[in-house]
Amino acid sequence: MKTQADLAEKLLEVIEEKDRRIAELEQQLQWFMSQIRLAKHKQFGVSSEKTDCTQLSIFNEAESNADMTIPEPKITEVKAHYRKRTRLTTDKLPEDLPVEIIEHELPAEDCICPECSSKMHTMGKETREELKIIPAKAVITRHVQHVYACRNCEETSDHVPIVKADMPEPVIKGGFAAPETIAHIAVQKFVMASPLYRQEQEWKQNGILLSRQTMSNWLIKASETWLEPIYEEMKLKLCKHEVLHADETTLQVLKEPGKTAQSKSYMWLYRTSGEAKHQIVLYDYQPDRKHIHPEAFLKSFKGYLHADGYNGYHKLPENIIVVGCWSHLRRKFFDTLKTLPKDKQPDSNAAKGVAYCDRLFHFEKQFALLPRENRLKERERLSRPLIDEFYNWIEHLNALPNTLLGKAAYYAQSQRKYLERYLLDGRLEISNNRAERSIKPFVIGRKNWLFSNTPNGARASAIYYSLIVSARENGLNPFEYLAWIFTNAPNLGKPGYTSTIEDFLPGSAALPQKVFTPKPKETKSEKYAWEED
């Protein structure tokens, strides 16, 4: 028979087991509540990851708010004055817009004085300006090529020379698309994120039956014939740089050989860093996320590559030095912070992690205008000690591995050698945000057109995005730039047209002025809105 002591021991084991189970369930509940708060923040909260430095900073307030780039203010005596309030507006119009003048005059019979019946004259004018938008219109361009022959030879000789007037080559042989048409369709899809089926409906409303299949064929044909050689030349130029950025995102391709329609493909991105004189941004479509793709794309590249924590980048050859991204680390602490109740956020370890990252970014803001060598010295003086302090804090954090804070701490420790590498060269950046900003146009477009039908379409999309995003990075108007390419590329080498592939690159000096985006002149009200009259 069981003794009373045995029963008590058994009861104690049951209680301990229940306590253990309760603690486990409480931990699970805490985790689920944190996930709910994080999901709510991502769905309903502000998308910006900015924080209030005055509340979360673990550093001295004066030090946090200091800005070494701002010179000392000069003390000047100011006369008494009155403030004239002006409306600050962000609306800007180019000065070279055509002006349509409409005169509003009284009929001659009404220009009679109501008092003395004498004829009235114009004593002044009141003017009102309006911005008039004219929707896109389509016209038929009919090329008529004159053919010439000699009358004398026709009468006296058995051989009559035939001479034809010069006529530009079409962008697509046998097609009826003008360069401007393909450029417009491309800009609507790859800049404005308007799928071809929506463009088809828009054309139909204007009485033009232009199918999405025809538009797709035009885009792919023009890309393969004229844009791909420019893309390859840009790739050669890109790999000659010593500092690059890389990123990747998913893409669905319905008719990828050997894969189901629901499987993931990838769009890789490679771009120049801020130290480059002319920016190059290239997209590369691949069926998967294997490291062999960046390895093949960057075959001739040697230098530093900014990337996120994806392990595939760490398998690249030794001549490619991968530099980690502090924005990714900060985001993990920031997500942890948003799962906490607001009253517990300021004093939490997550807030300390965010504050450390913010301080490093604050240093980079101060170093932005410094020469490369001075920036490197300042990083050694200020950033490196702070990083050492941060990792000393991480080692004593003792966060549970399965929590968001624990995962952030693990990411920081496992990525340390990559995260610290931006200290090696003054040209390097603290984050890979430059690549993330460049891949965003593709992500926005993907939300609208959802997928590519074939690998050829996906490759064409990569080429169009490459030229369009690179054009915008270099201050070019995407429509004018593409239209200029489609006009000149079929006539390469002819008199009056460009002569080499390099002339088509976004940073080329051969580009005409019309392909550049006009910069509106700063208005006086905008420039001096804060000052007194």
- pLDDT tens digits, 196-229: 999 999 999 889 999 999 999 999 999 999 999 9
Give the pLDDT band of residue 526 (cuts 50, 70, 90). Answer: very low
Higher-confidence position of 88 and 93: 93
Amino acid 401: pLDDT: 85
C-alpha closest to that of 306 among 437, 463, 471, 464: 437
Average pLDDT over residues 99-119: 88
**Lowest mean pLDDT across 63-67, 88-92, 288-292:** 63-67
SS3 248: strand
Torsion of CA 429, 430, 431, 437, to 10 degrees: -50
- % of the chain residues with pLDDT over 70: 86
pLDDT tens-digit series, residues 282-294 = 999 999 999 999 9
**CA 294 – CA 432 distance, rounded (Å):** 16
Average pLDDT of the chain, as a whole number: 87
Q: In angstroms, rounded to a whole number, what is the distance separating the alpha carbons of residues 95 and 98?
A: 9
**CA gap 53, 355 in Å, rounded:** 8
- The count of other CB atoms within 10 Å of the CB of residue 459 is 21
Q: For 308-365, write each residue's pLDDT tens digit.
A: 999 999 999 999 999 999 999 999 999 999 888 888 889 999 999 999 999 999 999 9
> In the chain, count of helices (H) and strands (E)?
19, 7
Query: Average of pLDDT values for 94-121?
Result: 87
pLDDT at 60: 57
- Cα–Cα distances (Å) from 30 to 16, 37, 39, 373, in that order, read 21, 11, 14, 48
Two tokens, residue 514:
């019309």
Q: Is the pLDDT of residue 80 over 60?
A: no
- The arrangement of strands across the sheet holding 320-323 comes to 281-286, 265-272, 243-251, 303-306, 320-323
| CA trace torsion 28, 30, 32, 38 (10° rounding) | -150
Q: Is 315 helix (H, G, I), strand (E, B) or coil?
A: helix
Separation CA 358–CA 327 (nearest Å) = 10
153 touches 160 (CB < 8 A): yes
Q: Picking from 7-16, 334-343, 413-422, 494-503, which range would have the lowest pLDDT averaged per residue?
A: 7-16
Which tens digit of pLDDT belongs to each residue from 15-55? 888 888 887 787 777 767 767 766 766 666 666 666 665 45
Q: Tell me what percent of the chain is helix, strand and coil, each rounded to the nearest 5.
A: 50, 10, 45
- The Cα–Cα gap between 420 and 148 comes to 72
What are the backbone dihedrals phi and psi of residue 306, each rounded to the nearest 5 degrees, phi first? -75, 135
H-only helix segments in 60-208: 61-65, 151-156, 179-190, 196-205
Q: For strand 243-251 and strand 162-164, is the pairing parallel, antiparallel, or unpaired?
A: unpaired
Instruction: Please list, in sequence order, all residues whose beta carbon lies within 8 angstroms of the beta carbon of residue 279, skipping any fewer than 6 positions away.
Output: 271, 272, 470, 473, 474, 506, 507
Residue recorded with tokens 């002319």: 278
